[in-house]
Amino acid sequence: LASLPGMHGTYDRQYQYTGMRGFGLPGDYNTRVLVMVNGNRLNDSVFDSGLTDKSFPLDMDLVQRIEFIPGPGGAVYGQNAMLGVVNVITRSGADIGGTELAAGAQSPQKMREGRATWGGKLDNGADLALSISGMRAKGQDLFFDYGAAGVSGIAQGLDGEQAHQVFAKASRGPWSLEFVSGNRRKGDPTGIFLSDPLVAGGHQRDRYTLAQGQWQDTFLDQKLQVQARVFAGQEKFSSMHHYGTPISFPSTGDWRGMELRTLYTGFDGHKWMLGLEWQDNFRVDQRSIDFAEPDNNISISSP
């Protein structure tokens, strides 16, 4: 995405941020770009963030192509599509066509990763794909100087990262089902959110789960396309930071919904589209847990 005109990427050793036309600075959570996997919304219901780093719950080796539509697209694709829409299209079982095993290593982050994937198209027409992948890195021991704070030193062993991803997809005829899950933990070498820097144990964890079932078919000599789908997702965030004492900021967001879309191309030079979408963010919980002073705990929960 950073190679596209007008787009840029930044990294604060916690998250990767994708910006466009000067918007999207570190700490902005990628809220102005809608990110989807096979048309299924990834932006969560707590922070509205569209992930583009290892928190993204899909292994990049499973990506067939990435579609990007610049500019406002909220009328067609929903909220967060202020600066653009990113739709990641996965490979099918037929594209995989068997078993794939992959392993990789990288320095100086001391990263190790592996992936096992199987996919194929059965005699009855069913297309199946299943993949499991994992990554672990120790990160880099970099020197940080916090200036007026009077704190400086090497973040020894604080930059570690690990991620695990699961992908499953099944389709036959106009029907398809898919499941995407990712779990990423990133160490905190920089003292994010004004926490105490260079303290061991600081980290953030993101666990994403997405699922959708879809039916899509064409009628009227392929001039009318009808698509219906149901979807659900969950994002569980947890962290540990130090402000003299350890404090955690867990949150959970659950959402579900359905969509119906029709596209008619029977008129020369025109496309007519009508769609309805309903989404229920039925759980949006955030907490602040002070392990030393429980009286300071804060809990904000959805009804």
pLDDT tens-digit series, residues 75-125: 888 788 888 899 999 999 999 999 999 999 999 889 999 999 999 999 999
Q: Which residues contact 4 (CB under 8 A, 6 or more apart)?
A: 68, 70
Instruction: Report residue 130's pLDDT band, with 50, 70 and 90 as the boundaries.
Output: very high
Is 280's pLDDT higher than 70? yes
Report the b/e string of 65-79 with b at 16+ CB within 10 A.
Answer: eeeeeeeebeeebbe
Averaged pLDDT, 238-254: 95
pLDDT tens-digit series, residues 166-204: 999 999 999 999 999 999 999 999 998 889 999 999 999
Instruction: Report residue 205's pLDDT band, with 50, 70 and 90 as the boundaries.
Output: very high
Is 24's pLDDT higher than 80? no
Instruction: Report residue 8's pLDDT band, with 50, 70 and 90 as the boundaries.
Output: confident
The string of DSSP codes covering 232-286 is: EEEEEEEEEEEESEEEE--EEEEEEEEEEEEEE--STT--EEEEEEEEEEEEEEE
